[in-house]
């Protein structure tokens, strides 16, 4: 480390521990000196510092040495006393306050960054007044009686030459009553060397009188001790000393005081010589002599073995005495005081070895005497002496610590001394580079007095900064502590400085609690000082204090707004953190040729729309060339790529605001910031672009270029709100969205500039058409175009499945230019169907009813026949301004669940000159479909009829409301359907309540005739109003149901004949007066086909009366065979004469036989079956061929005649035959061939009476 010779402490000690000269002037002397604006002491002070005095000194040893630097401290006798504590306090406070005010200028500058501080390792950043303050602190405890270096070594008696009777004046001056207490109470020897000075003012006249007096003085007081000092040689004209020697010592003097203005060069030289002579000829020799005398005494009484023993014994004896530590215990004549004087004199004359040995001697004495204050004082001096000797650092520190703790131990009287000792100790540690330890000592110095503590803590913090390794956090912490203490003492400026320095530590760290605290307090204090602009700077830092507790946030916000209000300025803050803008949520919707009916439609994927539109819209590349070809004449090539929006149409922007706080914050006037530039200036748009962001209000009001929407939002705590903003360009040109701005209050505007790069990156990642979006925020505004708006009236949001409703689509065109050539496509034709535009006012639902006369089919029935699903509006449809076009729509909720319906309408613009030839309107509708009826059908062939089926219909109401069944229809004209039993028997109320199920049986018959009863009325009797299932819209919806793969159970390759479609129509009466809600449920492709390809039916008379004249009776029977398969079949019928073998199923009766599918074919061969006794014991025989073989073409029917002969009356079961079939060319093993036993056929023969 630095050589202690040059250390600060050495300088301090050489400055502070120097001989004191007591000055006793007459009032006239002072008056003369004040002509120069100086007191006598002040006048002399600059010349009492000698850098090169070069005086030989010989103390105790015989070896003389030369003193180079020397200093005298001049004090008036009245000042040579301990100061009043209160006065000292006030003075120190004044020092601090002054320092604070002096710092005013740089208080508002930005603090230097912490990184640069350690480099300039010298403490130039540390406030300079610390040294001054420390000096003052040290001086406040001077002139104590327990130490001798403050005791005056000489006394100057100063009398003016104008004084009357100067000799007597000299005697009067050294009046015991006015002497300082040190001399009076015996702490020091009153026999102090005196120097008699006569001051002559040259303005008072010639120096003759003065020389006369001087001669008189010399006679009276001795020649050596008398001096003459002539001043004020200049007559009236002022002289400015350059450099002024007094300025340094009187920093408070204003320059126009002209310090020493009447002193010419000779006067100054005389002063110099006077001081020099005083020290080298009087003071130093005196001290030398004193040292030698004292040293002799001390050696005589204390040195040597004998003296030590004696001393020890003597002190031991004293121990018994009560500890009456009276002040006068050690008078100047006591040996202890003398040793102390000896040590201090030696110290002041730099004979440190001598000083140290005496201090050592003294320290044990005082310790034994328990004179703690004196002990501490001696320890302190020992420490300093060790330091000055530059040896044994450890001893020096030990002594200082010992002194420090001892001072502290003795209580309040030692406090000031402890502080002084501590400060010296700190300097000692600093000198050896132990900054950390120094900081610790500073910390210990700081006592109860908050202001002193604040200064000490601040000094401690700077020590941490200088420590190696640097301890930044402790630096910050101590600064904060000191700042708080400053604040306590109303030293706001100091508090701000401390906090601001601390801020450099906490800035950029994540210790946000502390950082907020610091910013908040700095802000408040600046506001207290009236510097609201600076305060605001700090308050802005704590605005987004999301991590703080709610009361804290409230406090912060309250203060923030208070200060903001007082500032009286309008702030425009980029990226204000309240609220936080979520840039990722930025979504800009512009409408070019694609327009959207609702915000929901915007969020739908582009691919969905494209797939819907691809057939309607002229193909993409084609479209592009067409309208861009047109434009290429008007617009520069560069623009082709940019986004397009239409003048007069709003550009919608969505952006999310997040409130980081737990409080709710209202924000006002949320609006977009945009720039507009006319079209022509695009290549170099920058210079002439009209910046129309909101900062200049003049252009904002100008609505000719574009209009902005303003939104007010209240964000509750922690909430994220999506703000919907819009800008509407008015003229062609280029529009650029540059950002979003909002007002937190009237004078706090936050804005967020969108960075094009950021957004571009996001887009290219997210969307594939990034190439087009070179700059998503820039838009080409083109001429105003017509824009269709479409709504579907009365579209319900919640419906039950199957509900059929009549809606209407209303299209409006607000532009003057009409549109034409409309086309529409619906994404889900199962749900929406287009009605006949001609019949716009029909009565629903009665329009569905069957007309009495068979009407011609409606025109809109054709939609089912069309291969594509694009609806072309009638050719002549042109939508003009203010004449809405209404298109009837049929709606049927086909499937339960959440359904999104997409509608896109294509239209062309009549005006050919516009940039866009066509546009599309995209609408999106979401509805929820609840389940209602669940219908299922099971068809089984009727065993007793050919081409007839039994249908079991199971209906369950899964909805929440009861439904009334209305009718069941088979769609088409081929199937005749009829009830087997009355519906009233099954469900008398006709209402199907929620959760209720119903099963009923119906008969189904394939009828080829045109007039077939395809409908069955299930409702109340008497109110039959059967709906025509052949007409729109039912048939249309049915068509789409058929097409839908889920409902069609079989593949389309199935024969039309073998499947049947059902439509169940029901109604729900919601309110009394309203027409009921109509529901239709469709079941498509219910197969009637069975696994058995061959059908047969045995027909013939059942009861025959015959007279028994003939021995037997022949009955003719007819068997109808039907081949339902697609293959030609060969069928063989075998008859047996043995009684029919009943299979297990043979015993069963009734419809069970029919329902159990007649598929299980492999009847056991009849031969093996045991005959079952029937009533008809006599057998019958099949006459005719026992085996008949026929060939059947696919789907053909043939009849075979059979003959049975009976011999007796009775009832016979004619089921003893089997059918064998073989399909030709069929691959299905199960269907290829099979055998089946006969159906039961009972023939009763009755005897004819």
Partner 1 sequence: MIVCIAVVGHQNNPLYIQSFTEADDALKLHHIVHCSLDVVDERVNNPKKSGPMINETFLGLLYPTENYKVYGYLTNTKVKFILVTTDLDVRDADVRNFFRRFHSAYLDAVSNPFHVPGKKITSKTFAERVSTIVKSVSFNTAG
Site track for partner 1 across 449-468, x = CB under 8 A: ---------------x----
CB nearer to partner 1: give 375 or 477. Answer: 477
Q: Provide, rounded to whole angstroms, the least separation between the CB of residue 544 and partner 1.
A: 16
Contact with partner 1 (CB under 8 A): which of 152, 377, 383, 476? 476
Q: Provide, rounded to whole angstroms, the least separation between the CB of residue 118 and partner 1.
A: 15
CB nearer to partner 1: give 224 or 549. Answer: 549
CB nearer to partner 1: give 433 or 648. Answer: 433
How far lies 1220's CA from each of 519, 1091, 1124, 1138, 1165, in Å? 103, 15, 15, 18, 12
Q: What are all long-range contacts of 1031-1034, with beta carbons under 8 Å and residues at least 24 apart?
A: 1031/848, 1031/855, 1031/857, 1031/858, 1031/861, 1032/833, 1032/835, 1032/836, 1032/858, 1032/860, 1032/861, 1032/863, 1032/890, 1033/804, 1033/833, 1033/835, 1033/890, 1033/892, 1034/804, 1034/848, 1034/1063, 1034/1065, 1034/1080
Q: Provide, rounded to whole angstroms, the least separation between the CB of residue 473 and partner 1.
A: 4
Phi, psi (rounded to 5 degrees) for 1203: -130, 135
How many residues make contact with partner 1 (CB under 8 A)? Answer: 15
Please identify which residue in the block is written with the tokens 């009832």: 1211
CA distance 496 to 564: 19
Q: Provide, rounded to whole angstroms, the least separation between the CB of residue 492 and partner 1.
A: 20
Q: Provide, rounded to whole angstroms, the least separation between the CB of residue 477 and partner 1.
A: 4
Mapped to the 3 state alphabet, what secondary structure does 875-904 carry? CCCEECECCCEEEEEEEECCCCEEEEEEEE
Contact with partner 1 (CB under 8 A): which of 217, 480, 725, 1064? 480
Contact with partner 1 (CB under 8 A): which of 366, 407, 462, 477? 477
Number of neighbours of residue 136 by Cβ within 10 angstroms: 16
Q: Provide, rounded to whole angstroms, the least separation between the CB of residue 517 and partner 1.
A: 5
Q: Provide, rounded to whole angstroms, the least separation between the CB of residue 613 and partner 1.
A: 43
How far lies 236's CA from each of 35, 108, 207, 233, 251, in Å? 10, 45, 18, 9, 25
CB nearer to partner 1: give 476 or 750. Answer: 476
Number of neighbours of residue 854 by Cβ within 10 angstroms: 11
CA distance 906 to 593: 10
Q: Residues in the chain, how many?
A: 1249
CA distance 251 to 1083: 109
- Using rule CB under 8 A, residue 570 touches partner 1: no
CB 946 within 8 A of CB 1007: no
- What secondary structure letter does DSSP report for 193? -
- Using rule CB under 8 A, residue 544 touches partner 1: no
- Using rule CB under 8 A, residue 447 touches partner 1: no
**Sequence-distant (≥ 6) Cβ neighbours of residue 597 within 8 angstroms:** 789, 790, 791, 903, 921, 922, 923, 924
Q: Provide, rounded to whole angstroms, the least separation between the CB of residue 471 and partner 1.
A: 4
Number of neighbours of residue 1010 by Cβ within 10 angstroms: 8
Indicate the pairing of strand 748-753 with strand 571-574: parallel
Q: Provide, rounded to whole angstroms, the least separation between the CB of residue 934 and partner 1.
A: 44
Contact with partner 1 (CB under 8 A): which of 354, 471, 545, 694? 471
Give the containing element (helix H, strand E) for 624. helix 620-632
Stretch that binds partner 1, among 332-340, 471-479, 648-656, 825-833 (CB under 8 A): 471-479
Please identify which residue in the block is written with the tokens 């000490």: 456
CA distance 163 to 28: 7
CB nearer to partner 1: give 439 or 905. Answer: 439
Contact with partner 1 (CB under 8 A): which of 276, 473, 730, 820? 473
CB nearer to partner 1: give 476 or 739. Answer: 476
Q: Provide, rounded to whole angstroms, the least separation between the CB of residue 453 and partner 1.
A: 13
Stretch that binds partner 1, among 325-333, 472-480, 892-900, 988-996 (CB under 8 A): 472-480
Site track for partner 1 across 844-883, x = CB under 8 A: ----------------------------------------
CB nearer to partner 1: give 131 or 584. Answer: 584
CB nearer to partner 1: give 261 or 538. Answer: 538
First to last CA, the chain: 154
Stretch that binds partner 1, among 203-211, 346-354, 391-399, 510-518 (CB under 8 A): 510-518
Contact with partner 1 (CB under 8 A): which of 32, 452, 494, 517? 517
CB nearer to partner 1: give 480 or 832. Answer: 480
CB nearer to partner 1: give 477 or 1027. Answer: 477
CB nearer to partner 1: give 480 or 955. Answer: 480
Looking at residues 101 to 130 of the shown chain, list those that interact with partner 1 (rule: CB under 8 A): none
CB nearer to partner 1: give 514 or 927. Answer: 514
Can you name the residues that pair with 1096 across neighbouring β-strands? 1121
Please identify which residue in the block is written with the tokens 């405890």: 141
Contact with partner 1 (CB under 8 A): which of 81, 265, 409, 513? 513
CB nearer to partner 1: give 255 or 469. Answer: 469
Helices 492-506, 512-528: axis angle to 10 degrees equals 150
Can you name the residues that pair with 1234 across neighbouring β-strands? 1221
CB nearer to partner 1: give 169 or 487. Answer: 487
Using the CB atoms, write b or e for 262-271: b if 16+ within 10 Å. Answer: bbbeebbebb
Contact with partner 1 (CB under 8 A): which of 197, 438, 472, 1004? 472
Q: Provide, rounded to whole angstroms, the least separation between the CB of residue 512 and partner 1.
A: 8
Q: Provide, rounded to whole angstroms, the least separation between the CB of residue 660 and partner 1.
A: 15
CA distance 396 to 431: 12
CB nearer to partner 1: give 431 or 481. Answer: 481
Cα-to-chain-centroid distance, residue 443? 40
Q: Give the 3-state secondary structure of residue 1044.
A: coil
Rounded (5°) CA angle 1105-1111-1115: 45
Q: Provide, rounded to whole angstroms, the least separation between the CB of residue 177 and partner 1.
A: 50
CA torsion angle 938 943 947 951 (round to 10): -20
CB nearer to partner 1: give 559 or 1222. Answer: 559
CB nearer to partner 1: give 547 or 1162. Answer: 547
- Using rule CB under 8 A, residue 907 touches partner 1: no
Looking at residues 341 to 370 of the shown chain, list those that interact with partner 1 (rule: CB under 8 A): none
- Using rule CB under 8 A, residue 511 touches partner 1: yes
Stretch that binds partner 1, among 474-482, 559-567, 1082-1090, 1155-1163 (CB under 8 A): 474-482
- Using rule CB under 8 A, residue 510 touches partner 1: yes
- Using rule CB under 8 A, residue 514 touches partner 1: yes
Contact with partner 1 (CB under 8 A): which of 169, 474, 652, 734? 474
CA distance 805 to 833: 10
Two tokens, residue 1106? 């015959």
- Using rule CB under 8 A, residue 495 touches partner 1: no
CB nearer to partner 1: give 129 or 511. Answer: 511
- Using rule CB under 8 A, residue 509 touches partner 1: yes
Q: Could you list the residues that contact partner 1 (CB under 8 A)?
A: 464, 469, 471-474, 476-477, 480, 509-511, 513-514, 517
């Amino acid at each position: 480390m630095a050589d202690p010779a040059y250390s600060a402490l050495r300088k301090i000690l050489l400055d502070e521990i120097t001989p004191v000269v007591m000055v006793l002037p007459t009032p006239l002397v002072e008056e003369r000196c004040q002509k120069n604006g100086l007191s006598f002491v002040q006048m002399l002070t600059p010349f009492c510092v000698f850098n090169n005095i070069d005086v030989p000194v010989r103390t105790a040893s015989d070896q003389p040495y030369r003193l180079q630097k020397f200093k005298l401290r001049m004090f008036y006798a009245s000042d040579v006393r301990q100061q009043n504590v209160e006065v000292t306090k006030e003075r120190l406070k004044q020092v601090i306050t002054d320092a604070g005010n002096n710092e005013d200028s740089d208080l508002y500058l930005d603090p230097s960054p912490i990184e640069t501080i350690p480099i300039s390792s010298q403490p130039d950043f540390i406030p300079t007044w610390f040294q001054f303050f420390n000096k003052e602190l040290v001086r406040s405890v001077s002139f104590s009686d327990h130490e001798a270096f403050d005791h005056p070594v000489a006394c100057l008696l100063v009398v003016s030459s104008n004084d009357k009777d100067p000799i007597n004046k000299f005697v009067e001056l050294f009046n015991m009553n006015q002497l300082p207490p040190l001399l009076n109470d015996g702490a020091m020897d009153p026999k102090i060397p005196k120097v008699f000075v006569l001051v002559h003012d040259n303005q008072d006249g010639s120096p003759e009188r003065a020389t006369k007096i001087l001669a008189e003085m010399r006679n009276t007081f001795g020649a050596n001790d008398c001096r003459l000092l002539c001043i004020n040689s200049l007559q009236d004209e002022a002289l400015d000393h350059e450099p002024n020697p007094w300025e340094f010592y009187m920093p408070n003097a204003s320059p126009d005081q002209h310090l020493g203005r009447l002193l010419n060069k000779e006067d100054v030289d005389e002063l110099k010589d006077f001081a020099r002579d005083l020290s080298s000829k009087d003071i130093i020799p005196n001290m030398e002599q004193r040292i030698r005398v004292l040293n002799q005494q001390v050696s005589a009484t204390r040195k040597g073995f004998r003296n030590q023993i004696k001393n020890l014994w003597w002190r031991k004896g004293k121990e018994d005495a009560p500890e009456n530590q009276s002040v006068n215990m050690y008078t100047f004549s006591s040996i202890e005081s003398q040793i102390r004087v000896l040590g201090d004199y030696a110290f002041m004359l730099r004979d440190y070895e001598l000083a140290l040995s005496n201090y050592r001697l003294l320290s044990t004495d005082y310790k034994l005497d328990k004179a703690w204050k004196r002990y501490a004082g001696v320890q302190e001096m020992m420490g300093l002496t060790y330091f000055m000797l530059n040896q044994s650092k450890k001893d020096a520190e030990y002594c200082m610590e010992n002194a420090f703790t001892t001072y502290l131990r003795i209580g309040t009287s030692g406090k000031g001394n402890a502080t002084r000792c501590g400060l010296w100790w700190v300097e000692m540690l600093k000198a050896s580079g132990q900054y950390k330890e120094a900081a610790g000592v500073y910390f210990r110095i700081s006592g109860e007095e908050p202001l002193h503590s604040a200064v000490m803590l601040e000094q401690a913090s700077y020590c941490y900064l200088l420590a190696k390794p640097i301890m930044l956090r402790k630096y910050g912490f101590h600064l904060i502590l000191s700042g708080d203490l400053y604040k306590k003492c109303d030293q706001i400026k100091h508090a701000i400085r401390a906090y601001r320095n601390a801020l450099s530590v906490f800035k950029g760290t994540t210790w946000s609690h502390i950082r907020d605290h610091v910013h908040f307090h700095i802000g408040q204090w600046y506001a207290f000082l009236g510097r609201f602009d600076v305060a605001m700077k700090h308050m802005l830092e704590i605005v987004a204090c999301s991590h703080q507790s709610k009361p804290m946030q409230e406090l912060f916000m309250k203060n923030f707004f208070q200060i903001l209000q007082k500032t009286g300025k309008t702030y425009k803050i980029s990226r204000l953190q309240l609220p936080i803008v979520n840039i990722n949520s930025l979504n800009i919707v512009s409408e070019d040729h694609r327009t959207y009916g609702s915000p929901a439609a915007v969020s739908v994927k582009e691919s969905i729309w494209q797939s819907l539109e691809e057939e309607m819209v002229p193909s993409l590349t084609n479209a592009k060339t067409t309208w861009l070809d047109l434009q290429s004449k008007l617009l520069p090539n560069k623009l082709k790529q940019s986004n397009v929006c239409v003048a007069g149409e709003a550009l919608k922007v969505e952006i999310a605001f997040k409130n980081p706080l737990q409080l709710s914050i209202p924000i006002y006037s949320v609006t977009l910031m945009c720039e507009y530039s006319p079209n022509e200036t695009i290549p170099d748009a920058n210079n002439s672009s009209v910046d129309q962001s909101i900062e200049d209000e003049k252009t904002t009001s100008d609505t000719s270029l574009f209009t902005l929407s303003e939104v007010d939002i209240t964000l509750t705590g922690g909430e994220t709100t999506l703000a919907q903003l819009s800008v509407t360009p008015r003229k062609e040109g280029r529009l650029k969205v540059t950002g979003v701005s909002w007002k937190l209050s009237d004078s706090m505007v936050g804005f967020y500039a969108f960075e094009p790069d950021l957004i571009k990156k996001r887009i290219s990642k997210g969307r594939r058409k990034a190439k087009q979006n070179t700059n998503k925020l820039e838009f080409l505004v083109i001429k105003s175009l017509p824009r269709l708006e479409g709504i579907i009236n009365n579209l319900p949001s919640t419906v039950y499945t199957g509900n059929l409703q009549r809606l209407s689509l209303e299209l409006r065109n607000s532009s003057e230019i009409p549109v034409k050539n409309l086309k529409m496509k619906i994404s889900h034709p199962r749900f929406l169907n287009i009605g006949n535009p001609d019949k716009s006012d029909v009565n629903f639902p009665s329009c569905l009813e069957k007309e009495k006369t068979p009407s011609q089919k409606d025109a809109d029935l054709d939609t089912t026949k069309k291969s594509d699903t694009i609806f072309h509006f009638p050719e002549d449809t042109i939508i003009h301004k203010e004449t809405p076009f209404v298109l009837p729509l049929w709606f049927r909720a086909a499937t339960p669940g959440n359904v999104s319906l997409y509608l896109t309408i294509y239209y062309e613009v009549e005006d050919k000159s516009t940039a866009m030839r066509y546009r599309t309107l995209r609408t999106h509708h979401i509805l929820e479909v609840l389940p209602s009826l669940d219908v299922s059908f099971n068809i089984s062939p009727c065993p007793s009829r050919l081409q007839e089926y039994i249908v079991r219909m199971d209906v369950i109401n899964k909805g929440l409301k009861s439904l009334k069944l209305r009718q069941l229809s088979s769609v088409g004209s081929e199937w005749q359907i009829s009830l087997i039993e009355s519906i009233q028997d099954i469900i008398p109320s006709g209402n199907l309540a929620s959760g209720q199920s119903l099963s009923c049986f119906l008969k189904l018959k394939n009828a080829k005739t045109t007039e077939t009863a395809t409908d069955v009325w299930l409702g109340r009797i008497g109110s039959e109003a059967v709906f025509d299932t052949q007409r729109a819209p039912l048939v249309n919806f049915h068509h789409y149901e058929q097409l839908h793969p889920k409902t069609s159970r079989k593949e389309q390759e199935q024969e039309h004949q073998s499947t049947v479609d059902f439509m169940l129509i029901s109604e729900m009466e919601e309110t009394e007066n309203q027409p009921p809600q109509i529901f239709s449920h469709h079941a498509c492709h219910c197969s009637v086909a069975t696994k058995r390809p061959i059908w047969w039916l045995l027909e013939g008379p059942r009861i025959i009366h015959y007279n028994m004249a003939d021995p037997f009776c022949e009955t003719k029977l007819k068997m109808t065979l039907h081949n339902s398969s697609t293959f030609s079949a060969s069928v063989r019928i075998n008859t047996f004469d043995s009684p029919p073998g009943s299979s297990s199923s043979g015993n069963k009766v009734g419809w069970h036989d029919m329902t159990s599918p007649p598929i299980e074919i492999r009847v056991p061969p009849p031969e093996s079956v045991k005959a079952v006794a029937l009533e008809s014991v006599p057998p019958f025989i099949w006459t005719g061929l026992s085996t008949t073989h026929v060939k059947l073409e696919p789907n053909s029917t043939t009849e075979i005649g059979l003959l049975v002969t009976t011999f007796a009356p009775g009832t016979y079961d004619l089921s003893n035959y089997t059918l064998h079939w073989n399909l030709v060319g069929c691959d299905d093993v199960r269907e290829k061939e099979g055998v089946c036993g006969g159906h039961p056929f009972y023939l009763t023969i009755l005897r004819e009476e």
